[in-house]
Chains A and B, each alone.
Chain A
């Protein structure tokens, strides 16, 4: 059973069309939830860490939020350069020092 699930698998947006990506998790004892951006053929680039329900972080057009069972990555007025795969990862007490990753959401923003 997947413990970190991202949806949708792929998302196509027009430039300027805001939307949200979802990361749901079933772990207990969350220590941290991480969002990454990955461009094709590159390593993931760190975006945000969220530690507790209710926490929010922002960076340019991206805003990450966290509840007890899921996190959202909101993209406001996206641009073509926001096209990438967005990964979320969870660290929990039951995993020790390991992070568990979701499969990612492939975002394409067309001009």
Chain B
């Protein structure tokens, strides 16, 4: 079945460590996104990519980094510079349509906890 796979589902990190969250899609979508979700807040955009080897900062990119070397993969690294990394992270993808917006399809999320 086509879909988006995020791993790991749960991750614990010590302060000062970098961690990488994986996101793989087999929907053949060009665009991929990373969102952060905190209780009582809407999803906030971290980074997005419209095409391989290109990506743009979202609204809260500080302390995060991404790469887009393959169409199917968009890993997110949470660096030690991110001051409050404990959150639920969601990866999404969508087809880029010439005639208008396409809906986002989401993975199941990764919950990161800093100890």
Which residues of A come within 8 Å of B, CB atoms?
A: 4, 9, 31-32, 34, 36, 41-46, 49, 51, 87, 89, 91, 97-104
Contacts and interface: CB of A to CB of B under 8 A. Distances in A.
Given A97-B50, A98-B48, A102-B42, A46 B103 contact: yes
A104 B42 contact: yes
Given A41-B109, A98-B45, A34 B40 contact: no
Given A87-B43, A98-B48, A46 B109 contact: no
Contacts of A44: 43, 90, 104, 106
15 contacts: A4-B42, A32-B100, A42-B109, A43-B109, A44-B43, A44-B90, A44-B104, A45-B106, A46-B103, A49-B103, A87-B43, A89-B43, A97-B50, A101-B42, A104-B42
Contact of A97 (B48, B90, B106): B48
Contacts of A32: 100-101
Instruction: Name which of B41, B44, B92, B104 has the most chain A CB atoms within 10 A of its CB.
Output: B104
